[in-house]
């Protein structure tokens, strides 16, 4: 489908946390980001000073056969407008890349304990860095109403399900 590819190393794996590829109720879940053996432990030196991380990961449970670029309603809900595949933030994107900003709880050796990482157990992590306030969006963010409607339960805890 695509003319050009790159190879990207895996620097860590997600251990624990989510297991069911749920669309919602991802809040307050603790998981571990465990560095792979060839990344030295001292590559994390100083990271404990930060409250949040930027984690780039791969939707490894998705498939190249599941890519959808044509406009469709998010989550199949006809109440939300059909939008192109690059407007969706899910595993049906061409590179299947996810970005999360979990809270860093503690560091133990090669393990980063985090909360609110919305990647599933076993997910390959491509990169991570501390979240710098100065590198987050600088201006007010605007968006249509459907993402707010769609994601109203995204960060709720599993025990808050109706």
Residues 100 and 57 sit within 8 Å (Cβ to Cβ):
yes
With CA atoms as reference, report the closest residue to 119 among 12, 6, 2, 14: 14
Assess if residue 29 is contained within a domain: yes
Assess if residue 128 is contained within a domain: yes
Domains held by the chain: number:
1
Q: What's the confidence (pLDDT) of residue 10? A: 97
Assess if residue 105 is contained within a domain: yes
Whole-prediction pTM? 0.90
* 87 sits in which H/E element: none
Alpha-carbon gap, residue 100 to 136, rounded angstroms: 12
Interval 45-85: pLDDT, tens: 999 999 999 999 998 888 888 899 999 999 999 999 999 99
Which residue is it, tokens 């299947």? 96
Assess if residue 16 is contained within a domain: yes
Assess if residue 3 is contained within a domain: no
CATH of residue 58? 2.40.30.70
Mean pLDDT across the chain, nearest whole number?
A: 91
- 127 is in which domain, residue-wise? 12-160
Interval 17-44: pLDDT, tens: 878 766 766 777 899 999 999 999 999 9
Q: What's the confidence (pLDDT) of residue 102? A: 96
Q: Where are the alpha helices (DSSP H) in 25-155?
A: 146-150
Assess if residue 75 is contained within a domain: yes
Interval 97-156: pLDDT, tens: 999 999 999 999 999 999 999 899 999 999 999 999 999 999 999 999 999 998 898 888
Residues 98 and 128 sit within 8 Å (Cβ to Cβ):
no
């Amino acid at each position: 489908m695509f003319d050009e590819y790159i190879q990207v190393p895996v620097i860590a794996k997600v251990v624990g946390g989510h297991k069911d590829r749920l669309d919602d109720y991802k809040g307050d879940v603790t998981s571990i980001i465990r560095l792979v053996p060839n990344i030295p432990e001292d590559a994390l030196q100083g990271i404990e000073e930060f409250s949040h991380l930027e984690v780039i990961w791969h939707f490894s449970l998705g498939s190249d056969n599941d890519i959808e670029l044509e406009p469709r309603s998010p989550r199949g809900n006809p109440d939300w407008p059909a939008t192109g595949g690059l407007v969706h933030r899910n595993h049906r994107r061409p590179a299947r890349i996810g970005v999360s900003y979990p809270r860093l709880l503690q560091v133990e050796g090669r393990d980063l304990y985090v909360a609110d990482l919305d990647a599933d157990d076993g997910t390959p992590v491509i990169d991570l860095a501390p979240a710098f306030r100065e590198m987050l969006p600088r201006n007010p963010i605007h968006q249509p109403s459907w993402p707010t409607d769609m994601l109203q339960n995204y960060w709720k805890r599993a025990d808050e399900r109706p």
